[in-house]
Amino acid sequence: MYPRGTIYRVGSPKHGHLNLHLPFWLRVGYLLGRGVGAGLIASAVVGFIFTYGPMVKEELLYSVLGPRSQPETFQSARADQDATREEAGSLGLSAYFSLYIPKINAKSEIIANVDAGDPKEYLSALEQGIAHAKGTHFPGQGETIFLFSHSTDSPANLARYNAVFYLLKKLETGDKIIVFFADKKYEYQVTEKLTTSAKDVSWFSYDDGEETLVLQTCDPPGTTFRRLIVVAKMAS
C-alpha cells in the first residue's frame, strides 16, 4: 500500500483522479515507519502487562471476590503433623516454612535466614518467595519473626518481587495470618498496621516479651519511599 490522492483544478467540474506514485525509497520508509510504530505500541502493551499485571490481578480478584472468609476458631499450633502437611498441600504450600493470609488469599513459601542487608542475597530469595530476616526468630520460639517481600528500585520489579504482599494494606486488626513451620501450623491475629520511614530498621530487633509476627513491604508498591508494617500476635 502507498499514499494515493485525487487532484481537482480550481473552477472546473470535479472529475477524474490521479494516483500519486511516491519514489520507491519513500514508500519503503512509509511501510517501515508503520511497522516500527506498531511494534513500539505492542512492546509498550506487553511491558505494561508484565510490570503491572500481578498488581492489577490482585486488585481485581479482591474487588470481585471480596475478603475471604476467616474461621472464628483457631486450631492449636500442636496440630497433627500429617494433617498440617495435608492442609498446607491443599493450598499449594509446603509445611516446611510458608505463609497464608486467608483474607487476601496471599500465599508463598518462605526462604529462611536471608540477610536483609545484602541486596544480591535478598533479591535472589524474593524471586522464590517471601524472605525471613536472618537474626530474627522462628514460629514457636516466643520471639519476633520478621518476614519481608518488596521490590527495591522501580515498578518494573513489582512483577518479580512484590505481588505476594501487594494487598497487605487491606489487612485490619483481628485478621488472621497462618504460618506453617516444621510441619506445625501457627496462627496469628493482626494487632497493628503502620507505615514507617524506609530507614527505620527498629522492627528487626522488636521485642515486647511476646511472640510477634512482623510483615514488611514497600509503600507504595514498587517504590522505596516508605515501609508498610503489619504486626500480628499469636492467636489464643
CB 186 within 8 A of CB 77: yes
| pLDDT tens per residue across span 154-178 | 555 555 555 688 889 999 999 999 9
Domains parsed from the chain with CATH numbers? 67-234 (2.40.260.10)
Decide: pTM greater than 0.75: no
Residues 118 and 69: their CA atoms lie apart, in Å, by: 38
Full DSSP string of 158-220: IIIIIGGGGGGGG--TT-EEEEEETTEEEEEEEEEEEEEETT--GGGG--SSS-EEEEEEEES
User: Which residue in 218, 217, 215, 210 sits closest to 235, CA to CA?
Assistant: 210
pLDDT of residue 159: 53
Give, in degrees to the nearest 5, the angle at Cα 207 between 111 and 133: 15
Residue ranges, the chain, pLDDT below 50: 2, 72-74, 77-79, 151-153
